[in-house]
Amino acid sequence: MGMMRWTAPSPDTPRRVTIVGSTGSVGQSTANLIARAPDSYRVEALVAGNSVEALADQARRLKARLAVVANPQRYRALKDALAGTSVEAAAGPEAVIEAASRPAEWVMAAVVGYAGLAPTLTAARRGAMVALANKEALVCAGRLLIDAVAASGGVLLPVDSEHNAIFQVFEPDQRAAIDRLILTASGGPFRTWSLAEMAGVTPEQALAHPNWDMGAKISIDSATMMNKGLELIEAHLLFGLPTEQIEIVVHPQSVIHSMVAYRDGSVLAQLGTPDMRVPIAHALGWPARIDGPAARLDFANLAPLTFERPDSGRFPSLRLAREALALGGLAPVVLNAANEVAVAAFLARRIGFLDIARLVEDVMATVEGAGPVESLQQVQAADREAREKVELAVRRHRVSV
């Protein structure tokens, strides 16, 4: 893990950090944690998509050296919002990459979706500690990302609550003694709904997650359980275990965030309140632990913890993710791209809730197994083609590709 290379953040050895996706849910939580211990961190760069006012406010509060808005048309607005400060302003895709290439030891990769891939790879290639909150970067270019980290001597710190939980209780020198990884899933808002009821789901209902406060795309993925499918692919890549050794169990209370079962019968679990500041704080302080503001678990007053098997009939995304892994090559890229377009179409009320998985399945049926992914260009081409197919199907108002 190269732990010796990394020093814990402190006023004596402040850690230089960059947040890519700083105005989103994870980015804001990261900024809030940094603001609690300002002497232990130096903010190199903050990157946002469009939210100029929130970005400028963050940059001022955290004394960032650089603020970048990905939308080039927002440059003038950002420049104006930062007038009178020493914060440098930049805009556009190239500026996002430049921000990720700046010399911050620690980079939070929190841009949702495929858009987060290029800056994440950039940070990994220069040997940074990459706090990974972007599922899609790993799903689409997992091997490229893992290899980049290994070649540069960097480290990947999983921030997804499930992978962070496994990371905390995974004993790398005992890999051969691991029986299985157990990813827990809340089950989302429709865990007990019938297929007939789910057919009429509105975006508002799907966005109302029972436990977690998340962005729109991730909330819909939770409702379809595609987020757990993507996490299955991530777990396989992060921890190097075959999919048959990765189990998914529905745990509606979201207290146990995931578990590692060992061959001697021991099962190690990481527990905490469903608050993203817990895994973010773990990554922000690693290899030490820092103070975090999340509510503490009160075991005497905790609701009973329950577990059940996921229903792949009502939630086909889990099966589709396993099929994508079995196909290999670019299949996970196609799975992710199709899902992103389908989720956006559902949020825009262009398709129904159950159409999301149907669209993904139809596109997946056109994929042929392929060799290993060799380049980012391959990934980009497969991503573009899958998006076009789904968009065409949505435009035709019929759910087949």
* DSSP assignments along 273-333, one per residue: -S-THHHHHHHHHTTS-----SPPP-GGGPPPP--B---TTT-THHHHHHHHHHH-TTHHH
* DSSP H stretches of helix in 16-134: 25-36, 52-62, 75-81, 93-101, 117-125
How confident is the model at residue 132, as a pLDDT? Answer: 96
pLDDT for res 400 = 45
Evaluate if pTM is beyond 0.85. Answer: yes
> Per-residue DSSP letters for 354-376?
THHHHHHHHHHTT---------H
Per-residue b/e over 267-283, b at no fewer than 16 CB within 10 Å?
A: eebbebebbbbbbbbbb
164-391 has which fold? Rna Polymerase Sigma Factor; Chain: A (1.10.1740)
What is the structure's pLDDT at 398? 56
pLDDT at position 275 is 92
pLDDT tens sequence across 361-391: 999 998 876 678 888 889 889 999 999 999 9
User: For the segment 265-274, what is each residue's pLDDT rounded down to a tens digit?
Assistant: 999 999 999 8
Element (H, E) at 137: helix 135-152
DSSP tally for the chain: helices H, then strands E: 16, 11
Identify the burial level of 196 via C-beta atoms within 10 angstroms of its C-beta, where 0-12 means exposed, 13-18 middle and 19 or more buried.
exposed
Q: Can you give the pLDDT at residue 214? A: 67
What pLDDT does residue 5 have?
Answer: 76
The strand pair at 15-20 and 106-109 is best described as parallel
The CA-based angle 18-330-118, given to 5 degrees, is: 20
Q: Six-digit token pair at 233?
A: 């692919």
CB 117 within 8 A of CB 97: no
Q: Catalogue the long-range contacts made by 77-80 (C-beta closer than 8 Å, 24 or more residues apart).
A: 77/52, 78/52
Show the beta-strand stretches assigned E in 41-168.
41-48, 66-69, 88-91, 106-109, 129-132, 155-158
Strands 256-262 and 178-185: antiparallel
Q: Going by C-beta distance under 8 Å and a sequence separation of 6 or more, which residues neighbour residue 181?
A: 166, 235, 239, 241, 245, 246, 247, 258, 259, 260, 261
pLDDT recorded at residue 1: 38
Query: How many Å apart are CA 23 and CA 69, to the nearest integer?
Result: 10
pLDDT at 137: 84
Q: Is 131 helix (H, G, I), strand (E, B) or coil?
A: strand
Beta pairing partners, 155: 129
Using only C-alpha atoms, what is the Rg of the chain? 21
pLDDT of residue 372: 80
Fold of 3-158: Rossmann fold (3.40.50)
Determine the pLDDT at residue 135: 81
Domain-by-domain residue ranges, the chain?
3-158, 164-391
**Which bin fits 113, alpha (ψ -120 to 50), beta or left (φ > 0)?**
left
How high is the pLDDT of residue 4? 47
- Which ranges of the chain have pLDDT less than 50? 1-4, 399-401
Which H or E run contains 393? helix 376-395
- Compute the distance between CA of residue 28 and CA of residue 342 in angstroms, rounded to an integer: 27
